[in-house]
Amino acid sequence: MKMRKIMAALLAALCAAGGTAEAAAAAPTVPTVTASPVEAVNVPFTLTGHAVDSGKNNGRSYFYIVIAEQVREVPGVEVTFTREGFHQIWAIGSNGRTIPISNGACGKGTYQIPVTKEMVRLEFDLFTEEIPFLGLSVPGGMTVMKTPYAGRSLSILGDSLSEADNWKTAGNDPDAYNMTSQWWYAAAKEFGMNLLVNNSVGGSGVYEEAAQKKGSGGLQRCMSLHTAAREPDEIFVLLGANDILRGRTPQSIAAGYQQMVQAMQKRYPKAEIVLFTYPYFGSVESFQKYKSKVDSLNMAIRTTAKNCGIKLVELAGCPFTAENIRQYLRSPADIHFNRAGQALIGPAAVKGLYILAAEAAMQGAR
């Protein structure tokens, strides 16, 4: 009965294109240290940046979170430092100036940080060993619909269709490749997933081409979907368009895809791998010509998912046609989608993942 209720909730969310309800919470007015964490509901945060600070003693790091790129709007942040010693918390304002948070060094304990409108990002100076145990959460709680994806770490393996920010190829439109405009970001935001690694490279495919940078093929990059502190829980794969456009056969692509998936299954045995088919793409002139290529590529992807026993989400149903494709491209001669194009692909990914969640709930109810 319980699983049927879950299934019903998932299906209702699919129909409503919703999935979350947020409870308003009053943030503390000043950061405080408490003997133990306040009662809170853990929510995933996108740890947007992390680097070892070579200017300090060994074993120290800093990381930052960009407020606008979080999967949920939050009124405040709570962070727990697990060891004694020097820590510091500060924010960067929209004017680029530093906003002190901890007012100097702070030690072991739990800190509550109000998030104000002028804050662009929060930054933390801490011990590297503490990063996996920070326990970031929202004071006061936030209700998040629990699905099989909530709170899971997401890595992406893809090409220019999945590129964003620091991974973008030189010359690409920064607006079209902003992280928050990407199709996979829509899915991460809807389900409360936490971005771990985006290993998407423009021009790349399943196979490495002789003219490309060594190690750029999916068969090589599929082993680099983790960080030093964490392995992926979910792996989204959307790859192969450049292979088919370079003349590789669907059979060759399917063989490479299967090899790539098997390598990921061996390297990341606990991760769920989800393959995505491609929406129709092409410039205004080449769109109709590319349709048969996209169809054959998608059949290779479907075959791989079936042979490897992994999940598949269809993006082929996105409503791109020869008549409307112009408005979804960066330019008439370009095959790359603009922000409006990505905005059509994102909901298709969300819908497909809701269907997978509902199917899983149905299996559990039997």
Tens-digit pLDDT profile for residues 255-269: 999 999 999 999 999
Q: Which of 167, 220, 166, 230 is nearest to 196 (CA)?
A: 230
- 69-81 in b/e form (b: 16+ CB < 10 A) is bbbeebbbbbbbb
Q: What is the 3-state secondary structure (H, E, C) of 63-79?
A: EEEEHHHCCCCCCEEEE
* Residues 206-222, mean pLDDT to the nearest whole number: 75
Residue 210 φ then ψ, to 5°: -60, -35
Please answer whether residues 334 and 283 qualify as being in contact, where contact means their C-beta atoms are separated by less than 8 angstroms: yes
Identity (one letter) of the amino acid at 279? P
Looking at residue 94, its pLDDT comes to 85
Tens of pLDDT, residues 60-112: 776 677 776 655 566 777 777 888 888 888 888 888 888 888 866 788 888 87
Looking at residue 211, its pLDDT comes to 55
Q: Which of 157, 261, 260 is nearest to 200 (CA)?
A: 157
Q: Does position 55 have pLDDT exceeding 50, yes or no? A: no
Looking at residue 226, its pLDDT comes to 93
Residue 64 φ then ψ, to 5°: -140, 155
Distance CA 356, CA 211 (A): 38
Length of the chain: 366
Residue 156 φ then ψ, to 5°: -125, 135
Task: For residue 147, give both structure tokens.
Answer: 């699905």
Give me the percent of the chain exceeding a pLDDT of 70. Answer: 67
Looking at residue 121, its pLDDT comes to 80
Tens of pLDDT, residues 300-349: 999 999 999 999 999 999 999 999 999 998 888 888 888 899 999 998 99
Burial of 5 (0-12, 13-18, 19+ CB in 10 A): exposed
DSSP annotation string for 85-133: S-BEEEEEETTS-EEESSSS-B-SEEEEEEPPTTEEEEEEEEEGGGGGG
Domains of the chain (ranges plus CATH)? 23-139 (2.60.120), 153-365 (3.40.50.1110)
Distance CA 110, CA 113 (A): 10
Provide the pLDDT confidence category of residue 136 given band limits of 50, 70 and 90. Answer: low
